[in-house]
Copies of this chain bind each other. A is one copy, B any other.
Amino acid sequence: MGFQQTHETNQVLLSKIAISDGHGEDSPYFDGWKAYDNDPFHPENNPSGVIQMGLAENQLSPDLLVDWIKKHPKASICTDEGLLNFKDIANFQDYHGLPEFRNAIASFMGKARGGRVKFDPSRIVMGGGATGASEAVIFCLADPGDAFLIPSPYYAAFDRDLQWRTRAQIIPVHCNSSNNFQITREALEVAYKKAEESNIKVKGLIITNPSNPLGTIYDRDTLKSLVNFVNDNNIHLVCDEIYCATVFKSPSFISIAEIIEEMDHCKKELIHILSSLSKDMELPGFRVGILYSYNDTVVSIARKMSSFGLVSSQTQHLLAAMLSDDEFVDNFLVENSKRLAKRHARFTKELEKMGITCLNGNAGLFVWMDLRKLLKDQSFESEMELWRVIINEVKLNVSPGSSFRVTEPGWFRVCFANMDDNTVDVALGRIHSFVGKIDKKENNTIPMPPKKKPRENKLRLSFSFSGRRYEEGNVLKSPHMMSPHSPLVRAKT
């Protein structure tokens, strides 16, 4: 790149979307990724680099996937056994998807939700990852200006996925620690009425279950209450269930699909489910997003929108074979859940030893870590100060609660499943040392190390762990001094 282009010229020539910051990348959530990309940790080559704990990726069971592929060469169109299918598959671009792919996805969705409910392959609509699928459902449901209620904290990139190009808007319904961040019907009613009074048309409610960033799941009563809420107001309920197979301890996950089967009075055409293989099957690169809608028109229209982001037929073909192998899927789900449980238990127990607690969760690839006691005061400025120390000095990319639109400062989302055991050890060691330093300092400030030049991007390193990388040339803001308080000291008071 590098033509001389004036910013002012572009402002006139491009769309409002292009010159706005609706993509949402100007947030600490993404700044943390840039910090990681500028100085990525590597055990030998860069042991003092930033450890990526801002990326909700599951990397605990690739061996199971690799084993299966090794044993099933015919599932690929690039092996001697599978090449016969190459021409047909390479030419396949039907937006319904390969019939065997849709069947396998429907079967997988059932298994990943405990096997208590069946999914109809004819309602499976492909999207370009959950990102594309979630944008598509909004395009189907909302006109520009229409709103969706979303309990906060919520996934940091929803602002981009649901608002940016659709021109719909999110109305956060704030939850807080007083009841473990649970949403209530009362809070929804208040938000709904307030919106209507402001002449904003509320088109639906969107939840993530399991919750990102909380790592918790919704119970049966709450889900029923949400269905009643949308029924009563005749608005939609979009359930983002892309983490449903990451539930690693009891209680079991309950899908909205199960709930609506149980309820006598339910307008099914208001219910839509988002699913994916990125978290549940550790395949984010394969870009499999699924919209499962109980609304016939939404199925038909969203399928037409699939053309903007179909899953590669090469990938559909492989996954059709893999996900229709019942024994493999059953085993993978059990084993992966065990590994997540083990990692989660180890991580949270070590944190507890240091006096750091997390919201009690049983799902997801992250914990919702409570560092309120480390804040200078209970403000988001203090949260950002603490975050800058963590990322610049402790060298951990964790995501501050503010990027998830929470209203209570001091919470951080910390991902624990996107690294190996050794990297977890290093991360825990750094946290331990950080907490220790705070305890030892009488003036409660953290010493700043000498500034050093950020390393050049190492692409080969970065792409294996990083999610999306961000624009070259973006640099993290300089670290600021701050004065966190030790959780231990506070805990004693």
Chain B residues near A80: list those with CB within 8 A. Answer: 70
Indicate which residue in B23, B87, B141 contacts A15 across the interface (CB closer than 8 Å): B141
Query: In residues 281-307 of chain A, which contact B (Cβ within 8 Å)?
Result: 282-287, 294-301, 303-305, 307
How many chain copies does the complex carry? 2
A308 to B130, CA, bound (A): 8
Indicate which residue in B95, B236, B303, B304 contacts A13 across the interface (CB closer than 8 Å): B236
Indicate whether A448 reaches chain B with its CB closer than 8 angstroms: no
Indicate whether A259 reaches chain B with its CB closer than 8 angstroms: no
Closest to A59 in B: B91
Indicate whether A187 reaches chain B with its CB closer than 8 angstroms: no
A462 to B94, CA, bound (A): 9
Closest to A140 in B: B18
| A93/B287 in contact, CB under 8 A | yes
| A5/B297 in contact, CB under 8 A | yes
Chain B residues near A142: list those with CB within 8 A. Answer: 15
- Tell me which of A15, A77, A296, A298 has the highest count of chain B C-beta atoms within 10 A of its own C-beta: A15
Chain A contact residues: over half helix, strand or loop, or mixed? helix
Q: How far is the CB of A161 from chain B (nearest CB, A)?
A: 8
| B78/A69 in contact, CB under 8 A | yes
Chain B residues near A96: list those with CB within 8 A. Answer: 468-469
| B14/A91 in contact, CB under 8 A | no
| B1/A120 in contact, CB under 8 A | yes
Chain B residues near A308: list those with CB within 8 A. Answer: 128-129, 131-132, 135, 161, 165, 308-309
A308 to B132, CA, bound (A): 4
Indicate which residue in B90, B128, B303 contacts A283 across the interface (CB closer than 8 Å): B90
A96 to B1, CA, bound (A): 14
Indicate whether A115 reaches chain B with its CB closer than 8 angstroms: no
Decide: A13 near B270, CB < 8 A? Known: A95-B468, A98-B463: yes
Q: How far is the CB of A213 from chain B (nearest CB, A)?
A: 18
Indicate which residue in B1, B23, B463 contacts A92 across the interface (CB closer than 8 Å): B463
| B123/A295 in contact, CB under 8 A | no
Indicate whether A378 reaches chain B with its CB closer than 8 angstroms: no
| B312/A285 in contact, CB under 8 A | yes
Closest to A134 in B: B308
Indicate whether A454 reaches chain B with its CB closer than 8 angstroms: no
| B3/A318 in contact, CB under 8 A | no
A75 to B78, CA, bound (A): 9
| B90/A285 in contact, CB under 8 A | yes
| B128/A464 in contact, CB under 8 A | no
Q: How far is the CB of A131 from chain B (nearest CB, A)?
A: 5
Indicate which residue in B10, B16, B69, B465 contacts A295 across the interface (CB closer than 8 Å): B10
| A128/B132 in contact, CB under 8 A | yes
Indicate whether A17 reaches chain B with its CB closer than 8 angstroms: yes
A214 to B462, CA, bound (A): 45
**A14-28 interface bits toward B, Cβ cutoff 8 Å, 1 = contact, 0 = none:** 111111000101000
Chain B residues near A287: list those with CB within 8 A. Answer: 93, 309-313
Chain B residues near A309: list those with CB within 8 A. Answer: 128, 132, 287, 308-310
A59 to B142, CA, bound (A): 40
Indicate whether A326 reaches chain B with its CB closer than 8 angstroms: no
| A122/B304 in contact, CB under 8 A | no
Chain B residues near A73: list those with CB within 8 A. Answer: 78-79
Chain B residues near A462: list those with CB within 8 A. Answer: 94
Indicate whether A143 reaches chain B with its CB closer than 8 angstroms: yes
A235 to B139, CA, bound (A): 28
Indicate whether A481 reaches chain B with its CB closer than 8 angstroms: no
A88 to B66, CA, bound (A): 12
| A91/B135 in contact, CB under 8 A | no
| A5/B94 in contact, CB under 8 A | no
Decide: A140 near B78, CB < 8 A? Known: A131-B307, A296-B3, A304-B23: no
Q: How far is the CB of A397 from chain B (nearest CB, A)?
A: 15
Query: In residues 425-471 of chain A, which contact B (Cβ within 8 Å)?
Result: 459-460, 462-469, 471
Provide 11 A-B residue pairs closer than 8 Å at the C-beta atoms, listed in order of the A residue.
A1-B123, A14-B298, A18-B297, A18-B298, A66-B83, A69-B86, A75-B78, A78-B78, A93-B278, A314-B318, A315-B315
Q: Contacts A65-B86, A314-B314 given; 11 further ones with Cβ under 8 A?
A: A5-B295, A13-B141, A18-B139, A18-B298, A69-B77, A69-B83, A69-B86, A129-B308, A131-B307, A307-B468, A312-B312
